[in-house]
Chains A and B, each alone.
Chain A
């Protein structure tokens, strides 16, 4: 039985099992079903993720007000060039994340992870890693399982709602989940996976939710891209041996407390931050006077 990251680490030691195995056993008991049924559900979700992460790479999709229509294709084209600052892998990962956001805003099909607004991040990390390092789908599904289990701990102890915790609770949690998945894929230890989560939260602590015109587009799409990279870099930091000197469950609690301290204007109400700028208000007026 576990409700925290510490519990999870203890169980992996006691049972000499990977994180995904502990989480799989728990889900089987919780849902009263077989491992195969869980794998099938994970496969279905990964199939949706693959489509949403790639659908907008080469086409522009219409979105309300068209605030992010066509933002993905140029990023994908750029990712194929040589000589970019961050290189092909990072630029491709960002393109995948943007695609998820563009598909979501266009009323296309996505898998919330943990929310629809943050749905680009986990698929981007999984697909970019799969392409770069040639993982089998079974390995990706195990990584998806671990990511989901980490997300469940956050749901249990904190929040994944932007209206409650700001963007750190949506894109931040998605990145923490994705970082754990990336560490596992690279053969890191459960401790390194948990450390990567903590580092993600430290890097995203306090990020507000301030959507222009109240739409899940700007700066949501850009933050899907940046938090994808946060996940990847924290996975590398943890794999390189960086420790987190703060208790991992305390880090989650800190994120939750910061979310509660955020004024309501900075929690998905479109009344503060980028959403409250003069230009944002102008965009909002233009969109809703035409509809």
Chain B
């Protein structure tokens, strides 16, 4: 049997819906981890069923709680609006149409304190499971169920080999790896899912590589 018992009883979560509440909180939290920089506004574009039913299922509060760093089983999730106010975080929700995405999808546009914006798109697949489908326009496809590295780098030869060498030195096995770029010789985004957790020490070693633009580790 390849279905885990804990996919049947679980997740432990804040109600009422694993897809519309737990998955939404997780999407927000993963997005916050990828952004990894101070921000003061998030606009949430809600697609499909998310857009139709978000108020009744607390999807809005769950997304907001997630970007504030709360886990999907944190009982403060219902108080997300007041927590955002305390954190001086402003937010907006609107219904939008996205092309070729799951019925429960959200586009999160973060305004950083330096005025720049960043954009994460993801979907809630049911049972609290999620899929991140785009980071700043780079197509991605990862669930954050295993530890994941999100790396941005210039599209030049040799960088991937530098990255994988550091993973090899730390005895970390790569489960899935995907690289995309916005133009030849432009900027690239590298997503690496690993079989073991990613330590702060490993991230520091990667950040010490001269050419990498950004390195974020997601260990949920």
Contact = CB atoms under 8 A, between A and B. Distances in A.
A103 interface: yes
Interface string B18-58: 10011000000000000000000000000000001101111
Interface stretch (B4-12, B84-92, B109-117): B4-12
Contacts of B78: 106-108
Interface residues of A, number: 55
A152 B1 contact: yes
B56 A45 contact: no
A108 B9 contact: no
User: Quick one: which of B4, B11, B16, B126 has the most chain A CB within 10 A?
Assistant: B16
A167 to B, nearest CB: 15
A113 B1 contact: no
B53 A110 contact: no
Contacts of B9: 42, 45, 111-114, 122, 144, 147-148, 151
Contact of B16 (A1, A151, A216, A288): A216
A42 B9 CA distance: 9
Contacts of A110: 12-15
Interface in B53-75: 53, 55-58, 61, 73, 75
B3 A155 contact: yes
Interface string A152-174: 11011000110000000000000
B162 to A, nearest CB: 31
Interface stretch (A22-30, A78-86, A199-207, A254-262): A22-30
A291 B55 contact: yes
Interface residues of B, number: 34
B2 interface: yes
A145 interface: yes
A107 B77 contact: yes
Interface in B106-142: 126-128
Nearest to A4: B1
A183 interface: no
Nearest to B126: A161
A44 interface: yes
B17 interface: yes
7 contacts: A48-B12, A64-B55, A107-B15, A107-B78, A111-B9, A115-B127, A156-B1
Q: What are the 6 A-B residue pairs with the smallest beta carbon separation, nearest first?
A: A104-B15, A151-B8, A148-B5, A107-B78, A216-B16, A152-B3
Interface of B: 1-18, 21-22, 52-53, 55-58, 61, 73, 75, 77-78, 126-128
Given A42-B9, A111-B12, A214-B56, 18 more contacts: A48-B12, A103-B15, A105-B16, A106-B15, A111-B9, A111-B11, A112-B127, A113-B8, A114-B8, A116-B22, A122-B9, A149-B5, A151-B5, A152-B1, A155-B7, A155-B8, A216-B16, A288-B56
Interface of A: 1-3, 23, 26-27, 30-31, 38, 41-42, 44-45, 48, 63-65, 103-117, 119, 122, 144-145, 147-149, 151-153, 155-156, 160-161, 177, 213-217, 287-288, 291
